[in-house]
Amino acid sequence: MSTFFAWMRQHRLGRKRILDTMLAATFREAGIVFIFTTNSRDFTVLGDFVCVTP
């Protein structure tokens, strides 16, 4: 939860980004670095992930 709240404040993310940010914080805490997604914009703003798009 601390990573989630820190990213919400740091990146000034609004209510439309809550679920994406929570998912990303969960991935980060689990040690996941690579994300396979069709919408990399949701994760690249956080700077901690390598997004792979199909």
Q: What are the pLDDT digits (tens) for 4-28?
A: 999 999 999 999 999 999 999 999 9
Radius of gyration of the chain (CA): 10
Number of domains in the chain: 1
The pTM for the full model equals: 0.84
Tokens of 13: 């993310």
First to last CA, the chain: 30
Residue 49, pLDDT score: 93
Q: In 7-21, which positions are buried (b, 16+ CB within 10 angstroms) versus exposed (e)?
A: bbeeeebeeebeebb
Where do we find the tokens 């990146």? Answer: 11
**Percentage above 90 pLDDT, the chain:** 80
What does the DSSP 8-state code read for residue 45?
T
Percentage of residues of the chain with pLDDT beyond 70: 100
Contact in structure between 53 and 32 (CB atoms under 8 Å): no
Looking at residue 42, its pLDDT comes to 85
Domain range enclosing 19: 2-52
In this model, does residue 41 exceed pLDDT 90? no
